Amino acid sequence: MLTLRATWMRGGTSKCWLFNAVDVDPLVAQAGGVDALLISAFGSGDPRQLDGVGGGSSTTSKAAIVRRSAADGIDVDYLFAQVAIGDRRVEWGSNCGNCATAIGLYALQSGLAAVDDAVTTVRMRNQNTGAVLIAEIATPGGAIPTEGNAPVPGTNALGVPVGLSFTGLSTGTLLPTGNAVDHVTAAGQSHAATMVIAGAPAALFDAADLGLTGAEDNGVIAEHLPLLVALRQESSLRMGLSKQGDPISHAIPKVGIVGAPRDYRTTAGDAVGADEYDVSVRMLSMLAPHPAIGLTSAVAVAAASTIADGVVARALRGSTPDLLRLGTPAGVLHVDLNRAADGTLESATLHRAARRIAIAELFVTAPALVAAGA
């Protein structure tokens, strides 16, 4: 039996198990690889992850391995893992903004980043994608917060306020296909999409092409799951994220639908008026509708909103707000768009909350390790 130290944290609307690399690195060889270590710790292979710490949903089966960075201008590096639930596998191809929110606070609470006497800025590099994120946390008098009263849509739990910025959005290839709109065929029909790489690779489809508005509840979105999964697979090929015959990834690209604002009710039953937000968004998370929206997906939507004639821009009906309000199943999420003098999007900032839930020792059993190695 191996003993793995871990910290359990809530970041935004996700729960993440965070591991210091100094605790993980010595165990990898004994476990048969880091995938096997996480699969066993989370209890994957069972739909409830009953024999591990996974929560049985895509938003609660997440992990990150964090280490102090050796790179100039970066405080911590982290590898994000989306741990599958019913399957014994780990997806390493993406990032998670909610977990990054938690990592910013974790870096302070675990001594991986120096603390300022007013506001501490933690620069984090996601090693999966190379993206650099900046977390800003108030630390008056050098005090590291353990609790706060900041809310986020999608949960009534409060936490330490964290400003999370995704940087470098003006560099690289925003449009991997070179087109503002691509037409993807699935189930014998063509569907208009804007494909972007910002925050995370994402394929955003016009809700009207699916016979939807984009403001439906997740029960309706779930009925279209087979089509959305097929569209993700075809989009992955178009975006150069995979080749024919590659194993199918359910993590990237992120896939969702967008539409013009209209009145709807959140999953909690709260009424949201069409005048309270700018564009409706419904995303998938692995193989289920996302209960809110992942932050990397929110950044992708924000970046896509700046593409003239793209699917998101059409839903905005000509407006180009610097504060983009996304209507999600959980409520309205605000994204601050920070532009250069020429109007190019440089970064996007979201206001989130995080809280440390527990520090634990996870016991990874020998039988689980043998099964994973087999």
- In the CATH hierarchy, which fold is given to the domain comprising 182-339? Diaminopimelate Epimerase; Chain A, domain 1 (3.10.310)
DSSP string, 50-105: TTSS--SSTTTSEEEEEEE--STT-SEEEEEEEE-SSSS-EE-S---HHHHHHHHH
Exposed (0-12), middle (13-18) or buried (19+): which is 209, by Cβ within 10 Å? middle
Exposure string (b/e) for 190-199, b if CB count within 10 Å is 16 or more?
Answer: ebbbbbbbbb
The confidence score (pLDDT) of residue 366 equals 57
Angular region, 31: left φ>0, alpha ψ -120 to 50, beta rest? alpha
Extract the tokens encoding 56: 């049985």
Exposed (0-12), middle (13-18) or buried (19+): which is 257, by Cβ within 10 Å? buried
DSSP string, 291-346: SS--HHHHHHHHHHTTSTTSHHHHHHTT---SEEEEEETTEEEEEEEEE-TTS-EE
pLDDT band (50, 70, 90) for residue 144? very high
Are 2-170+355-373 and 182-339 equal in CATH topology?
yes
Lowest-confidence pick of 173-177, 230-234, 275-279: 173-177
Q: Which residues, including other chains, have CB under 8 Å from residue 219's CB and lie 6 or more apart?
A: none
Axis crossing angle, helix 295-304 with helix 97-109, rounded to the nearest 10: 130
The confidence score (pLDDT) of residue 172 equals 67
Average pLDDT for 52-76: 96
User: Do residues 3 and 368 lie in contact, with contact meaning Cβ atoms separated by under 8 Å?
Assistant: no
Which of 179, 190, 165 shows the shortest CA–CA distance to 239? 179
Average pLDDT for 186-208: 93
The confidence score (pLDDT) of residue 341 equals 83
Inform me whether the pLDDT recorded for 367 exceeds 70: no
First to last CA, the chain: 17
- To which residue do tokens 């977990």 refer? 99
pLDDT tens-digit readout, 273-317 = 999 999 999 999 878 899 999 899 999 999 999 999 999 999 998
- This prediction's pTM: 0.85
The confidence score (pLDDT) of residue 52 equals 95
Domain boundaries along the sequence of the chain: 2-170+355-373, 182-339
- Better-predicted residue by pLDDT, 191 or 245: 191
Inform me whether the pLDDT recorded for 330 exceeds 50: yes
CA Rg value for the chain? 20
- In the CATH hierarchy, which fold is given to the domain comprising 2-170+355-373? Diaminopimelate Epimerase; Chain A, domain 1 (3.10.310)
Which of 249, 250, 280 shows the shortest CA–CA distance to 263? 280
The confidence score (pLDDT) of residue 104 equals 98
Which of 207, 260, 209, 257 shows the shortest CA–CA distance to 232? 257
Residue positions counted in the chain = 374
The confidence score (pLDDT) of residue 142 equals 97
The confidence score (pLDDT) of residue 134 equals 97
DSSP string, 128-147: TT--EEEEEEE-GGGPPPS-
Inform me whether the pLDDT recorded for 370 exceeds 50: no
Which segment, 54-58, 87-91, 107-111, 195-199, is predicted with the most confidence on average? 107-111
pLDDT tens-digit readout, 77-99 = 999 999 999 999 999 988 899 99
User: Do residues 154 and 163 lie in contact, with contact meaning Cβ atoms separated by under 8 Å?
Assistant: no
